[in-house]
Each structure stands twice: as structure tokens, then as C-alpha cells.
Amino acid sequence: MDAEPSTEFGEIEPPSDQARSAAIALHTQLVKPAGSLGRLEELGVWIAGCQGQAPPRPFTRPRVVVFAGDHGIARRGVSAYPQEVTSQLVATMLTGGAAINVLAAAAGAGVRVVDMAVDTEESAMRSIGEFKVRRGSGSIDVEDALTDAEVRAAVAAGRKVADAEVDGGADLLIAGDLGIGNSTPASVLVAALTGSEPVAVVGRGSGIDDNAWMRKAAAVRDALRRARAVLADPLALLRTSSGADIAAMTGFLAQAAVRRTPVVLDGLVVCSAALLAEELAPGARRWWMSGQLTGEPAHALALEHLDLGGLLDLDVRLGEGTGAVTALPLLMMAARILAEMTTHEQSGVAGPLTPLPAP
């Protein structure tokens, strides 16, 4: 393990304003009334800015990276499922049978699984455990999730994964999460960074009943007290209140911005990591688009804090990157509109009427 992995991201260069302006101008020339394709036009402009060219290229190698890890707080009964389900779901994902495998295949995206802290040493896990930090995490209501060395290693791992994907040709990235109980640390992080109270961030997660909701609210309350003591230091907040999977996602999202690669965000857990990535690398959020809205209250708070709106509202709250992948065809369409539609001049279709002079 690297003794002192880098957690410095430097200045984040924004998407190209020149390409954005060119895309806006191109939209006015296409054979349609200006603005008639609504948010699809906005998406195309964002893609053009990220790629630095107008028209943009349709995406050819979108990639989903699922960061898996167990959380000590799951032992408090905050989830509808037992902790061993994490490793079982990872195994299912590796054989192509999980929801993200099916949806990604339909959307033309590849899937990679990274075991950061699954509480197992099974052979299937070892095959994806190059960056594994530990088995599980501390129970964040009474102890830190990670050590200083572990949080730095996890952030650095996320950076390395992002670099490897971009160097391998990925032109759009999606982070996915997998871990029983992970919405609890995510809710704590969102509450800490948005100044919210526990009751405002605790949702139903995996489908918990009222008793489990009360246990979860108590866990978030106790963990939030610890989180607020280190609020000024993003790495300390990750150490205290996240987990190796969320810390790795944080590094992944920030490094994607460093590498000028657009990202589609998923639900609550990924967006909690996005809040920390924006703290570590201010301006990174300009490289992200939110794929969806969910019913999780902390997710809405995180998106508001990031000033991002969701593309779809299908109540997809599974995680794994599923909500983001579901939005991927919209981005494909948005790019192809600019790349493939004809202009008024090319088609011979008359443009808008010139306003008559005032009498």
C-alpha cells in the first residue's frame, strides 16, 4: 500500500465555453424551432463543452465502475437485508446477472466491479480486489470508518481506476455503489455538508420498515455528531463517516474532472461522494450530470447543494449505477442531434420568418 498516496487534485479546468457557444449556435441552425427539443438541447450543449467541440461526438465507450464495500453500521439493523448480501450480489454482478449488467448492456456500456471493502476473502472477490483497503468499515456511530492511511489509499484507488478507464478509451463514466447499509453513511455525509438534521435525510433505503427507520435515524444522529467535529477537513470527514467504497468513489469522480471526462451521477450514495469530490476538487461538478431523481430525501439535498437537476424521475433507487445508465440513451440522443441533424441551409427548409418592421 502506498504510504502517502496523493490526494491533491489541483485546479479543475472547466468545460469549453467556446464549444458550448458553438453548440448553442448550431442548435439555432438545425431544422427545428429553437428550443423545441427542450433539455435534450441543454444536454447536447453540455456534452459539446465537455468534449471541447461542436458538434460533439456520440459516445463510443461509456463505462460503469461499481465500487463495493461493507459498512459496520449495517450491524445496527439499518437495512432490510443482511450484510452477507453484498458479497452475494458482487458474485452475481461478476456473472452478468445483476440489474446493472442488464441495463448497461441495453445502453451499450461496459461494467467493471471494484472490491474496496467487501467483508469476505472469497476467490471471486480476490479477482477484483487489487485496491481492497479492508474488510468492512468501522461502525460510524461510535468509531471512524477508516484510518488516515486507509482513506488516502481509497481516494488514490479511485483516481487510479478513473485514469485506467480514461486511458483505456472511456469517453463517459458512471460510478455505481454496492453495499448493504451504505445509504446510512451517505446520509450522514449529506447532512454534514448541507447542514441538515437527521430527520431530514433519513429515507427508506432498501425498503426498511418503521422500526428499522428509527434505528437508522438514531445511527445517523450519533454519526452526525462525530462528523460535524471534522467538517472543515474533507479527508477527515471521509475517514470518520464514509467507507472505503465511498472514499474511492470520491477520488474517481474528482479525477474524472481532472481528466476532462464527463460523468453521469447515480443516486444517493454516489451523490454523497460527489459532495466530497467537489470539496476536494472545486469545480469538478461542472463535469457531472445527474442521471436521475429518487425518493431519498438526502439525494435531493445533495443535488440541490451541487446545483444539479436529475434527468429522469423513475424512482430508481437500487444503486449499482442503474439510474445513471437508464439516462444514458438520452445523452446519446442529445449528442447525435447535434452531430447528425441537418441545418436549414443544408436541407433547403425555410427558417423562422424575419419579423416585419414596426409600422
Tally of residues, the chain: 359
Helix (H) or strand (E) holding 77: none
Domains along the sequence of the chain with CATH: 17-56+339-347 (no CATH), 62-329 (3.40.50.10210)
- The reported pLDDT for the residue numbered 1 is 43
* Distance from C-alpha of 238 to C-alpha of 346, rounded to nearest angstrom: 54
pLDDT tens track for 147-198: 999 999 999 999 999 999 999 999 999 999 999 999 999 999 999 999 999 9
Residue carrying C-alpha cell 457557444: 21
User: Strand runs (DSSP E) across 193-335, as ranges?
Assistant: 263-265, 288-292, 310-312
pLDDT tens track for 219-272: 999 999 999 999 999 999 999 999 999 999 999 999 999 999 999 999 999 999
Listing DSSP states for 188-220 in one string gives HHHHHHHT--HHHH---TTT--HHHHHHHHHHH
pLDDT along the chain (359 residues), means of 10: 65 96 96 93 97 97 98 94 94 96 98 96 83 96 98 97 98 97 97 96 90 95 97 97 98 98 97 98 97 94 95 93 97 97 88 65
- The reported pLDDT for the residue numbered 44 is 97
- The reported pLDDT for the residue numbered 189 is 98
H runs (alpha helix) in 81-147: 85-94, 99-107, 123-126
- The reported pLDDT for the residue numbered 100 is 98
- The reported pLDDT for the residue numbered 2 is 46
Catalytic residues: 320
* Distance from C-alpha of 98 to C-alpha of 111, rounded to nearest angstrom: 11
